[in-house]
Amino acid sequence: MRRWCFSFLFLLLLVFYQLDGMASSSSNTPLKKPKVNVLSPQDLLSVTHYLHTCPDAEGIIQNKVRAWVKKDYTLAASIIRLHFHDCAVRGCDASILLNHTGSERRSEGSKTLRGFQVIEEIKAELEKRCPKTVSCADILTAAARDATILIGGPFWEVPFGRKDGKVSIAREANTVPQGHENITALIHFFQARGLNLLDLVVLSGSHTIGRTTCRSIQTRLFHFNGNGNGRDVMPHSSSLLNATYMRVLERKCRRSYDYVDLDGTTPRKFDNEYYKNMEKKMGLLSTDQGLYRDARTSPIVQALATQPDLFMNQFAVSMVKLGNNVQLLTAKNDGEIRGNCNFVNPP
């Protein structure tokens, strides 16, 4: 009996010292911090964001866009362009919609933007149905998708949850490409916004629809002499425009404020004809033709010219990337939900 008790006590002491040793060693070992998963702004977007707070939001946006495009088909391209100009500065935060002195909307580079009234009307309707719920940034993003579909383009899911920004600066809007930049500058501009070479070429394909003013292409058509007394009859050596196409443009561009279609072949149809036009030296803007001439982008242009399905599918992918870019405002303390897209909320 004594031997059994002794053995039992010995085991208890052994366990005690082992536990004490483990406690001592653990106290000398620094505790590892638990891993914290940091969510990106994109992670906070969701296709069901308004499912319970404003379930008819997408339907309202779609119906309004359809009604406006039915009255004026050129608005489809204008809405897509407005969305790009918004996302290209400070991310997709509806800063392009703010209408005050010194804002992006008042900048020189934004003078030809259209579609503001469409967004204002959609916002007014949504405020009646779901006050202070749907952001202007989400409205513009969804409207661009719906406008694309209405003119024959692809569908893509739009995740929601963007906030509206409170800052809008004119000089920042003037950095958005205007159609005369070199390809290297375009590549850098897109890369700074999380978009790659493929996205650059594919998103440029939105020029398959829409128009531009003749002012933006006059330097492609002619040299202007230094004394301001007129123009040379010799086409600009770097324009590389198809001769027949150039004569058509000369007839259409009597005045700088006249408009000309970006796609000279099928201007009302969302298709890959834009890329085929480049092969025929019918890229209207110098940046358009430049994509075909540059060795870095030319293979992509050629692939899209021969594969219409590739263009459609990739356009949807690239538009999602544009709408979900790295500068999004989605966190709780980011931005706001404006009551009126033209102005920040009063304090």
Q: Which two tokens stand for residue 290?
A: 């430049």
Q: Which two tokens stand for residue 242?
A: 């198809």
What's the distance, Cα to Cα, between the start and end of the chain in Å? 85
What DSSP element (H or E) covers 212?
strand 211-213
State which amino acid sits at residue 261: D
Q: Which two tokens stand for residue 265?
A: 């072949």
**Other beta carbons within 10 Å of 164:** 26
User: What is the distance between the alpha carbons of residues 84 and 145, in angstroms, rounded to a whole number?
Assistant: 12
Query: What is the phi/psi pair of residue 321, to 5°?
Result: -60, -40
Residue tagged active-site, from 49, 52, 83, 85: 85
Q: How distant, in Å, are the alpha carbons of 80, 278, 287, 293 from that of 283?
A: 19, 5, 8, 11
Residue 207 appears among annotated catalytic residues = no
Positions annotated as catalytic residues are 85
